């Protein structure tokens, strides 16, 4: 991005401590623009803001941090997107506290496309991961950009699904734009920067502080027409995103799960509170509008035929987790035969082992 006086003024204002969006909006209205705010005297500023803040604005940000920030913005594919920028997301302008500016890497045209946020547990089940990726791929194919937070688990699956189709994906991160967090997703972050987008409102060098993530969640929902919760415990940060979505007038969707799974408790609570229960991506598309998914987008690869014992065990497993003892009782097979059948089912990708010796269907 080319650095001019306007960009430099915005970058300076973005780095000033204590300058809230509300106060900055008042200054811009009174003085005319970012350059005028940065060039105003302390005496004139003190007529509009507290004296201490007027001194901060007149002094400007740390010069070394400003220099690093401008160097980052000047790199190819990098940008500082501001309130007065044509690419600033119109959806964010409808929330109560949109950031005056944010750092961005990637495809700027994605910022104003129809989007949906997909969020959920970091410690997701294999079934949850599959659901998130499949929903994201279908929704992306229907024209929605998939927004998520680049965390492990559901976020990772959602980004992968989004990148696999035309809608692509944007990650809203809780660190500075120069940080890669979590490190396990650094490769995914590079893919998003090249083919999707990475967005941060935090200054360069900002570490992954716990308080950053609830704050960034308002942008996940704010960018989107709706929020889909795939898996969530009752303590999940996904419920914060869902709450922001409701407050911002966005739709909230939730995929139900087993009544025995802690990863379904959060989704079930949202459904009780009025979230829309969804079973397929088409449910979301019909609610929000979008191109109908193609048949190919919803097709599954045929699994190999099961042996007789494996078929009995698979049928007995149902859709709730169960252990070897329970399956032995349900099928009448010997425990050894059940164990062999479970190995076959795992190898074919139909079931997965859970902590504590239980098994759960994946398909």
Alpha-carbon distance of 159 to 163, in angstroms, equals 6
Give the list of residues 6+ apart from residue 76 with CB closer than 8 angstroms, or none: none
pLDDT score of 55: 95
Sheet holding 351-353, edge to edge: 322-323, 358-361, 351-353
Q: For domain 308-361, which architecture applies?
A: Orthogonal Bundle (1.10)
Q: How many CA atoms lie within 13 A of 84 on its CB side?
A: 12
**Is residue 209 over pLDDT 90?**
yes
Residue 276: how many CB atoms within 10 A of its CB? 15
Average pLDDT over residues 294-309: 54
Indicate the pairing of strand 358-361 with strand 351-353: antiparallel
Give the list of residues 6+ apart from residue 98 with CB closer than 8 angstroms, or none: 21, 83, 92, 222
> Which tokens is 50 given?
């507290």
The distance of Cα 213 from the centroid of its chain, to the nearest Å, equals 11
Residue 160: how many CB atoms within 10 A of its CB? 18
Q: What is the DSSP letter of 15?
A: T
pLDDT score of 293: 55
Asked if the 1-74 domain carries CATH number 1.10.150, the reply is yes
How many residues in the chain? 363
pLDDT score of 222: 97
Task: Kindly report, residue by residue over 50-74, the tens digit of the pLDDT.
Answer: 999 999 999 999 999 999 999 999 9
Higher pLDDT, 306 or 108: 108
Residue 63: how many CB atoms within 10 A of its CB? 9
- Give me the CATH code for the 108-298 domain, please: 3.40.50.450
Q: How confident is the model at residue 297 (pLDDT cuts 50, 70, 90)?
A: very low
- Strand, coil or helix: what is 205? coil
Domain ranges in the chain are: 1-74, 108-298, 308-361
Average pLDDT over residues 246-272: 94
Alpha-carbon distance of 268 to 300, in angstroms, equals 27
**Is residue 259 over pLDDT 70?**
yes
Give the list of residues 6+ apart from residue 160 with CB closer than 8 angstroms, or none: 133, 136, 188
Average pLDDT over residues 174-178: 97
Alpha-carbon distance of 142 to 145, in angstroms, equals 9
Q: Give the bridge partners for 106, in sequence order.
A: 197
- Could you please report the per-residue DSSP string of 130-178? HHHHHHHHHHHHTTPEEEE---TTHHHHHHHHHHTSTT-EEEE-SS-TT
**Is residue 294 over pLDDT 80?**
no
User: 57, 19 in Cβ contact below 8 A?
Assistant: yes
Q: What is the DSSP letter of 179?
A: -
Q: Considering the entire predicted model, what is its pTM?
A: 0.82
Strand ranges in the chain using DSSP code E only, listed in sequence order:
78-82, 101-106, 115-119, 145-148, 169-172, 197-200, 226-229, 251-254, 276-277, 322-323, 351-353, 358-361
From residue 47, alpha-carbon distances to 50, 52, 55, 76, 111 in Å are 8, 12, 12, 40, 36
Buried b (16+ CB within 10 A) or exposed e, 189-208: beebbeebbbbbbbbbebee
Alpha-carbon distance of 267 to 279, in angstroms, equals 12
């Amino acid at each position: 991005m080319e650095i001019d006086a306007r960009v430099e003024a915005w970058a300076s204002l973005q780095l000033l401590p204590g300058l809230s969006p509300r106060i900055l909006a008042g200054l811009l209205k009174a003085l005319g623009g970012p350059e005028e705010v940065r060039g105003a005297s302390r005496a004139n500023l003190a007529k509009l803001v507290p004296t201490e803040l007027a001194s901060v604005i007149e002094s400007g940000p740390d010069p070394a941090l400003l220099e690093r920030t401008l160097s980052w913005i000047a790199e190819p594919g990098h940008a500082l997107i501001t309130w007065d920028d044509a690419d600033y997301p119109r959806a964010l302008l409808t929330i109560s506290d949109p950031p005056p500016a944010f750092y961005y890497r990637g495809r700027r045209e994605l910022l104003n496309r129809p989007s949906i946020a997909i969020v959920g547990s970091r410690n997701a089940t294999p079934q949850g991961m599959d659901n998130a990726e499949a929903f994201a791929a279908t929704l992306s194919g229907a024209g929605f950009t998939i927004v998520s937070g680049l965390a492990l688990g559901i976020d990772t699956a959602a980004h992968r699904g989004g990148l696999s189709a035309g809608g692509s994906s944007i990650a809203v991160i809780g660190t500075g734009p120069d940080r890669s967090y979590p490190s396990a997703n650094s490769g995914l972050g590079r893919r998003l920067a090249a083919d999707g987008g990475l967005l941060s409102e935090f200054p360069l060098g900002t570490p992954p502080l716990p308080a950053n993530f609830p704050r960034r969640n308002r942008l996940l929902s704010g960018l989107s027409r709706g929020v889909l919760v795939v898996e969530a415990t009752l303590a999940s940060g996904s419920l914060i995103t869902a709450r922001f979505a409701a407050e911002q007038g966005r739709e909230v969707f939730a995929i139900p799960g087993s009544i025995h799974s802690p990863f379904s408790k959060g989704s079930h609570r949202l459904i009780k509170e009025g979230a829309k229960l969804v079973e397929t991506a088409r449910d979301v598309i019909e609610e929000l509008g979008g191109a109908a998914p193609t048949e190919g987008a919803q097709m599954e690869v045929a699994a190999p035929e099961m042996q007789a014992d494996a078929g009995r065990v698979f049928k007995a497993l149902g859709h709730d987790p169960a252990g070897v003892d329970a399956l032995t009782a349900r099928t009448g097979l010997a425990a050894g035969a059940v164990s062999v059948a479970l190995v076959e089912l795992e190898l074919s990708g139909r079931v997965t082992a859970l902590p504590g010796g239980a098994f759960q269907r994946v398909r």
